[in-house]
Structure 1
């Protein structure tokens, strides 16, 4: 469960915002739109040999659990946890709508993914993100939530355009 009290304390301007983090049980148009936006943005920013973004179909086929952050009217962000094995998960497809950035949506999604990983009995969660400047805000967010830099995991290999991070739960 996301700690909304802590989230609102970090963002006092959002005291009256009803942010909900909900599991996506079926691919709705709003989630598909954000996943497609994320997919296209990652492909546009990263050469294909270094781009590890997954399509919505691939995420669900891999057994990922997808979550959507919503306010009263809009899906503001998405994130997924993909199992790598019974104790290790990967945070995937983290994306906040441009109009909702700097409002704590990403923080709330990371908290929910960490909570879900714990509920699933995982003891570690890892991620891959870009090493270039546009990815710096994401790296800072992950650092705030206890992720440390690590070598490649799973099927990843060293890549100057990738950064790998992990966190013990």
Structure 2
């Protein structure tokens, strides 16, 4: 099973569809005020670059990098299709995003994820890549439903 991770211009709608299911899941685990997934209208923001992971041309996961400043990026929209969980998809996407952040000369990347048990696999992955807990950043506020992580590059 070869996983290909490439930049995606969102033109075929597959990432939007995957993120729609992601948004629905977020509302199952967090109150609306604590859901920080990108709304559909923000997906094509020029400060956000998306990657799609595909196996045999089929989208199996996605992730994005948002520029907060010339030295800081935020990882957004990390999502794996349920059928492909625990197969290394998120790891490949995260590696591609970190590679891009380094090439942009960011000094740091940050992210927000949920705090409930359903997010434990994501938290474990980020810790494996030396992300450390930090406080809220950008427009985020302290929230019991959110965890914030940072990684120096």
When normalised by structure 1's length, the TM-score is 0.86
CA contact 1:59–1:82 (8 Å) conserved in 2: no
Match among 47, 68, 73 for residue 63 of structure 1: 47
The corresponding residue for 1:78 is 62
Match among 15, 18, 33 for residue 34 of structure 1: 18
Query: How far apart are the structure 2 equivalents of 1:46 and 1:74?
Result: 29
| Matched ranges for 1:1-169 at <5 A | 17-61=1-45, 63-169=47-153
Query: How far apart are the structure 2 equivalents of 1:62 and 1:45?
Result: 29
Structure 2: gaps of 5 or more residues:
none
Q: Alpha-carbon deviation of 1:25?
A: 1.9
Which structure has the bigger radius of gyration?
1
Instruction: Report the RMSD for the aligned CA atoms in angstroms.
Output: 1.2
Question: Which deviates more from structure 2 when the two are superposed, residues 86-95 or residues 36-45?
Answer: 36-45
Give CA-to-partner distance per residue, 1:24-78, whole Å, 9 cap, x none.
1243122221121112211232101111111233132262100000011410100
Aligned length: 153
Which structure features the higher share of helix residues?
1
When normalised by structure 2's length, the TM-score is 0.95
Structure 1: gaps of 5 or more residues:
1-16
